[in-house]
Chains A and B, each alone.
Chain A
Amino acid sequence: MNEKATEHRTVTIEREFPHSAEKIWRALTQPHLIEEWLMKNDFKPAIGHRFNLRGDWGGVLDCEVLAVEPHTTLSYRWDFAHDDAAYDLKSVVTFTLVPTETGTRLRVEQSGFRPDQKQAYGGAKAGWPQFLEKLEQVLTREG
């Protein structure tokens, strides 16, 4: 493992949707639509715009728009301030849209985790009972 890999980790999710990039772009950039699939927010698709994402669990993420290329790329800072450094998160989320034959492939990449951060903001805030519920869902899925 090289030095960079030990300093930062990246989560990458890809999903193909049978929808146009233009339509997915709207879901990624219009506040009332963002709220429906992600969190409550005061997002604006303008570089430098600072906004918050507010989670159901009461946590507030500090965000700043870093890149906006309509129908192609959206990137913003995704920070979660916490007094305990182990829970403090500074990361960048990048959405990339690539047209395919049948629709659009959306890649979500989140980078910036440090290996010493052992708990995600969700785990840290929600605590163990919720975690165990999630674990149960995972177990059900894994069959």
Chain B
Amino acid sequence: MTDFHDALFRSLADPTRRALFERLCREGEKTVGALTAQAGISQPAVSKHLGILKLAGLVRDRHEGRQTHYSAQLDALAPLVDWTSEMTRFWQGRMDNLEDLLKRMDQ
């Protein structure tokens, strides 16, 4: 489980990859060419990033003629958003708020 999280986090740690993934989440399936047009990097670099996202299960590719279409696989993120981890983060954030409040109550 932790290894799996590591792979997910690593694949999304790179801002370029994250931008590619977020774009696929927002706009749906895209060809490598369409993604390259707005990515500001070369097509081979985009393909390399997509390959890493694919290994992490975050995107799926579909070949059609000479084009490769990529789409986001939101299910791959499901293990990160289960109740327990989400609520743990929620409460940790609220405890930070409480700490701030208690300091203010001193004054």
Contact = CB atoms under 8 A, between A and B. Distances in A.
Contacts of A38: 94, 97-98
Given A13-B91, A135-B12, A120 B105 contact: no
B107 interface: no
A123 B87 CA distance: 10
Interface in B50-105: 74, 77-78, 80-84, 86-92, 94-95, 97-102, 105
Given A11-B91, A134-B89, A27 B9 contact: no
B81 A131 contact: yes
Contacts of A117: 82-83
Contacts, number: 91
Contacts of A118: 78, 81-83
B77 A9 contact: no
Interface residues of B, number: 31
Interface of A: 9-11, 13, 15, 17, 19, 23-24, 26-27, 33, 36-38, 89, 106, 108, 110, 113, 117-120, 122-123, 128-129, 131-132, 134-136, 138-139, 142
Interface of B: 9, 12-13, 18, 22, 25-26, 74, 77-78, 80-84, 86-92, 94-95, 97-102, 105
